[in-house]
C-alpha cells in the first residue's frame, strides 16, 4: 500500500500529493522518538515516547483513571509503560513490570500503597500552557484558535458544556505518531498546502479514531470533528497539531470533550531503546 502511494506520488508532483508522501515517510523509519503536549478540558499533560523495530515502544504518560484507580494514585500522576504492539504491554510499578491484568483489584482485598509510584508532574502557575508551543509569538503557524473546530450535529446529543465535571481524555493505550499521520491522510475532508504548513479538516470517522485508542477503558466515540496542521521539512513531517472535539460514551455516560495536541518528532531513524528482560518476557505475544 505504501509503495503504491509513493509510486503514485512520484507520478504526480502536486502539493497535496507531496504532503501525503511526507506524512507516510515516518512509517519507513521504525526507530524514532516524540513528545506530545496535550491540553484537554481537565488538564495539560505531556506524553513522551520512543519506538523501535516497528514493534517495541516505551511511553511516559498520565496514569489515567483506569490505572490510577487500581494503584490508588492520582490520574494526573505519570507512569511508564512498554508496549509490544497494541495488544501486549506492561506498566512500571513498585513491584516491577506488571501487565494490566496483574494490577491489583480493590475487590481482591489489596491494600494500596500510600505513596505514589512516581512523583506527580509539576503544576504550572498562571494561565494554562499553550500546547502549540507558540508562546507569545503570534506568527507561529501552529498557534491554536480556541473554538475553531465545529462539531457536527452537536445539539442532537442533548449535552451542554458545563453540565458535568471536566473530563480528561488521557488514556492508557498505545498511540504512535506514524499511525496518527496515516489516519489523518486517509480520512481528511479537505487539505491545503501553504509552504511547509499543511492544514485541513478531518472526517467524523478520522476524528473518532484519533480521540479514542484501543485500551482497557470502556470508551466509545459517538460523534467527532477535528482539524489538523502538519509541518513538513526535508520532505517529511516533523511536527503536527490536532484539534479534536467529540461526544464520548463512557460506561453509559456521555461527555463533550475538547483536545488539542502538539506532537514533535525527533531522532528519526536513530532512536535506540533497551527493553528490560522482565518487560520483554511479559510482553511476548
**How confident is the model over 77-111, as pLDDT tens digits?**
788 899 998 889 888 887 888 888 787 654 333 33
> What strands lie across the sheet with 32-40, from one edge to the other?
96-98, 89-93, 78-84, 56-62, 44-52, 32-40, 253-266, 236-250, 219-233, 197-202, 188-194
Which pLDDT value is given to residue 165? 63
| Angle (deg, nearest 10), helices 15-24 and 177-186 | 150
Number of domains making up the chain:
1
Q: What is the pLDDT of residues 164-197, one digit of tens each?
A: 567 788 888 899 999 999 999 999 999 999 999 9
Closest CA to 2 of 179, 207, 198: 179
Residue 28's CB is within 10 A of a number of other CB atoms, namely: 12
CATH of the domain at 57: 2.50.20.20
3-state secondary structure of 77: coil
Domain of residue 74 covers 2-283
In contact, 133 and 141? CB cutoff 8 Å: no
How would residue 1 be classed by pLDDT, with cut points 50, 70 and 90?
A: very low
Which pLDDT value is given to residue 65? 60
For residue 97, what is the enclosing H or E element?
Answer: strand 96-98
| b/e per residue 158-186 (b: at least 16 CB within 10 A) | eeeeeeeeebbbbbbbbbbbbbbbbbbbb
In terms of pTM, does the model score above 0.75? yes
How would residue 137 be classed by pLDDT, with cut points 50, 70 and 90?
A: low
Q: What is the pLDDT of residues 8-54, one digit of tens each?
A: 444 446 888 988 998 998 988 889 999 999 988 888 889 999 999 88
Amino acid at each position: 500500500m505504501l509503495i503504491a502511494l509513493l509510486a503514485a506520488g512520484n507520478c504526480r508532483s502536486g502539493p497535496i500529493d507531496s504532503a501525503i508522501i511526507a506524512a507516510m515517510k515516518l512509517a519507513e523509519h521504525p526507530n524514532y522518538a516524540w513528545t506530545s503536549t496535550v491540553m484537554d478540558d481537565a488538564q495539560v499533560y505531556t506524553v513522551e515516547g520512543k519506538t523501535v523495530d516497528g514493534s517495541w515502544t516505551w511511553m511516559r504518560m498520565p496514569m489515567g483513571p483506569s490505572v490510577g484507580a487500581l494503584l490508588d494514585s492520582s490520574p494526573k500522576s505519570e507512569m511508564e509503560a512498554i508496549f509490544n504492539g497494541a495488544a501486549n504491554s506492561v506498566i512500571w510499578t513498585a513491584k516491577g513490570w506488571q501487565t494490566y491484568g496483574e494490577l491489583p483489584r480493590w475487590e481482591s482485598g489489596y491494600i494500596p500503597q500510600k505513596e505514589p509510584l512516581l512523583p506527580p508532574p509539576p503544576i504550572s502557575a498562571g494561565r494554562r500552557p499553550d500546547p502549540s508551543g507558540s508562546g507569545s509569538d503570534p506568527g507561529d503557524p501552529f498557534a491554536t484558535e480556541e473554538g475553531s473546530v465545529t462539531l457536527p450535529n452537536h445539539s442532537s446529543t442533548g449535552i451542554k458544556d458545563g453540565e458535568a465535571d471536566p473530563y480528561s481524555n488521557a488514556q492508557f493505550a498505545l498511540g504512535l505518531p506514524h499511525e496518527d499521520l496515516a489516519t489523518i491522510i486517509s480520512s481528511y475532508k479537505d487539505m491545503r498546502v501553504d509552504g511547509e504548513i499543511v492544514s485541513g479538516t478531518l472526517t467524523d470517522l478520522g476524528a473518532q479514531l484519533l480521540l479514542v485508542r484501543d485500551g482497557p477503558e470502556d470508551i466509545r466515540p459517538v460523534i467527532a470533528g477535528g482539524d489538523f496542521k502538519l509541518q513538513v521539512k526535508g520532505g517529511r513531517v516533523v511536527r503536527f497539531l490536532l484539534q479534536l472535539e467529540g461526544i464520548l460514551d463512557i460506561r453509559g455516560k456521555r461527555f463533550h470533550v475538547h483536545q488539542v495536541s502538539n506532537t514533535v518528532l525527533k531522532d528519526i531513524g536513530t532512536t535506540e531503546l533497551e527493553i528490560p528482560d522482565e518487560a520483554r518476557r511479559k510482553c511476548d505475544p
